[in-house]
């Protein structure tokens, strides 16, 4: 029998930004929800600009969940991050 994630049939629209909101989105995604993150057009999440940087990208932003899709239209776990 296949195991199912607790929230696998739930779609979450994440309008949060910076730390607490995206962390909550990460927990929902870890439980199986499809999380779609909407970022501010032209700017993106504020966490994109927080130091320290690794390979030109904010370490804080890199720590956000890998399975969340953003409004650029692809999953952030692909090795790339979309820009708003």
Q: How many domains are contained in the chain?
A: 1
User: Does residue 42 lie in a domain region?
Assistant: yes
Domain residues for the domain of 64 are 11-76
- For residue 71, the model assigns a pLDDT of 63
- For residue 70, the model assigns a pLDDT of 67
Q: Per residue of the chain (84 residues), what is the pLDDT tens digit?
A: 557 789 999 999 989 888 888 788 888 988 999 988 888 888 777 877 788 888 887 777 766 656 667 665 434 443 444 444
User: Does residue 84 lie in a domain region?
Assistant: no
User: Does residue 41 lie in a domain region?
Assistant: yes
- For residue 11, the model assigns a pLDDT of 94
Q: What are phi and psi of 51, to 5 degrees?
A: -75, 160
User: Does residue 26 lie in a domain region?
Assistant: yes
User: Does residue 68 lie in a domain region?
Assistant: yes
């Amino acid at each position: 029998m296949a195991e199912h994630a607790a929230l696998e049939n739930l779609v979450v629209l994440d309008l949060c930004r910076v730390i607490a909101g995206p962390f909550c989105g990460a927990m929902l995604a870890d439980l199986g929800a499809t999380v779609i993150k909407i970022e501010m057009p032209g700017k993106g999440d504020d966490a994109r600009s927080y130091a320290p940087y690794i390979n030109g990208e904010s370490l804080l932003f890199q720590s956000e969940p890998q399975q969340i899709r953003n409004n650029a239209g692809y999953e952030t776990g692909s090795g790339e991050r979309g820009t708003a």
